[in-house]
Amino acid sequence: MPIFILNMQRLVYILAYPFLWLISILPYGLFYFFSDLMYFLVYRIVGYRKKVVYNNLSLVFPDKTKKEKKDIQKAFYKHMCDMLLETVKTLNISEEELKKRYALPNIDFLLDLEKERSILVMFPHYGNWEWSIIVNVHVKSKGFAVYQKIDNVYFDRLIKKIRGIWSTTPISQKETVITMARNHQKGIRGVYGIVSDQSPQVHLAQYWTEFMNIKVPVYNSPEILARKYNHAVVFAKVTKVKRGYYSTEFIPIAKEGSKTKENEITDQFLRLTEEEIIQNPAYYLWTHRRWKHRDKVPEKFL
């Protein structure tokens, strides 16, 4: 990377980090008041990706009225600001506090499952997936959090630091295959958390199917790895109980990945994600252009 760009990234980080750290130590009343101010700026003033969000909602919910879609849109932006700041809050949140705010009602199911094999925990971009690192406090296997690298190397390190709290090992998407292969070869059991509803590049897509009644390319690498290494697969169903409080239930998808049919894991993950979205659409990450390739379906997938 050119030294000029690196220096600029460092400058941006140096200016931003003290502000982020200050936010992370605010008492919750002030913390969420600041989130409200952020919502006003992002939604009312800047209008960050408002058109993308509204278009996505129109695609997925064609029968909803304009008012209904606008209400979902506003609720989404409020939640998005909460979730972004809650990620920052992780810098200075205690284990006891996070356990209280991110409940795991059936964690025993995961603990029993890990006695037999490695586990792939699949998350959609729903609710709060960042605070799921608290899972690593409970499990005995080594915990891995798969993440997408950030262009700014200093903020990338910060995200790794946040996701690396409590002995969680952050690994990039490119490192996931190597890490799983190495652990499998050495007989090391792991619990791998991965957000799995991204939109792959069209030329790399190996599977197209309907998601929210729209045919799109889907990311099926988690299934491929689970079938190859015979991992158990579970879905993390996140419920926002109230502001700042979540509950995550682990729903079994496959006890032994190698015994599943092709696309079975991916399809079940998508159906469970759809159920969450339909139940409360405001907590899905609508700023992603998830359906941008819908008009590019290859003939063999029609």
Q: Which pLDDT value is given to residue 40?
A: 97
The region of weakest confidence among 188-202, 230-244, 275-289 is 188-202
Q: Which pLDDT value is given to residue 301?
A: 78
Share of the chain above pLDDT 90, in %: 78
The region of weakest confidence among 28-32, 82-86, 161-165, 197-201 is 161-165
Alpha-carbon distance of 92 to 271, in angstroms, equals 35
Q: Which pLDDT value is given to residue 168?
A: 87
Instruction: Tokens for 158, please give them.
Output: 């910060």
Q: Categorize the per-residue pLDDT at 45 as very low, low, confident or very high, splitting at 50, 70 and 90.
A: very high
Q: Which pLDDT value is given to residue 1?
A: 62
Alpha-carbon distance of 295 to 97, in angstroms, equals 46
161: left (phi over 0), alpha (psi -120 to 50) or beta: alpha
The region of weakest confidence among 63-72, 128-137, 243-252 is 128-137
Element of type H or E holding 121 = strand 119-123
- Radius of gyration (Cα) for the chain, nearest Å? 20
In 3D, which of 144, 123, 118, 114 has the Cα closest to residue 226? 118
Q: Which pLDDT value is given to residue 106?
A: 97
What is the mean predicted confidence (pLDDT) over 204-230? 94
Q: Categorize the per-residue pLDDT at 153 as very low, low, confident or very high, splitting at 50, 70 and 90.
A: confident
Range 78-106 burial, b when 16+ CB lie within 10 A, else e: bbbbbbebbbbbbbebeeeebeebbebee
What length is written for the chain?
302
Name the average pLDDT for the chain: 93
User: What are the residues facing 248 on neighbouring strands?
Assistant: 238
What is the mean predicted confidence (pLDDT) over 110-115? 96
Residue 302 has pLDDT above 80, yes or no: no
Q: Which pLDDT value is given to residue 35?
A: 97
Degrees to nearest 5, angle at CA 18 with 35 and 161: 85
Indicate the residue type of 170.
P
What count of Cα atoms within 13 Å lies in the side-chain half-sphere of residue 227? 13
What count of Cα atoms within 13 Å lies in the side-chain half-sphere of residue 92? 12
Alpha-carbon distance of 242 to 148, in angstroms, equals 28
Q: Categorize the per-residue pLDDT at 165 as very low, low, confident or very high, splitting at 50, 70 and 90.
A: confident
Residue 47 has pLDDT above 70, yes or no: yes
What is the mean predicted confidence (pLDDT) over 136-144? 94
| Locus of tokens 């699949």 | 122
Tens of pLDDT along 67-79?
Answer: 999 999 999 999 9
CA 217 and chain centroid, separation: 18
Instruction: Tokens for 218, please give them.
Output: 């889907």
In 3D, which of 197, 127, 132 has the Cα closest to residue 168? 132
Q: Would you tell me the crossing angle of helices 28-39 and 66-89 to the nearest 10 degrees?
A: 140
Tens of pLDDT along 265-295?
Answer: 999 999 999 999 999 999 999 999 899 999 8
Q: Which pLDDT value is given to residue 201?
A: 83
Q: Categorize the per-residue pLDDT at 7 as very low, low, confident or very high, splitting at 50, 70 and 90.
A: confident
What is the mean predicted confidence (pLDDT) over 134-147? 93
Q: Identify the residue with better confidence: 271 or 200.
A: 271
- Alpha-carbon separation of residue 140 from 53, 95, 109, 267 (angstroms): 40, 16, 13, 29
Cβ(250)–Cβ(110) under 8 Å? yes
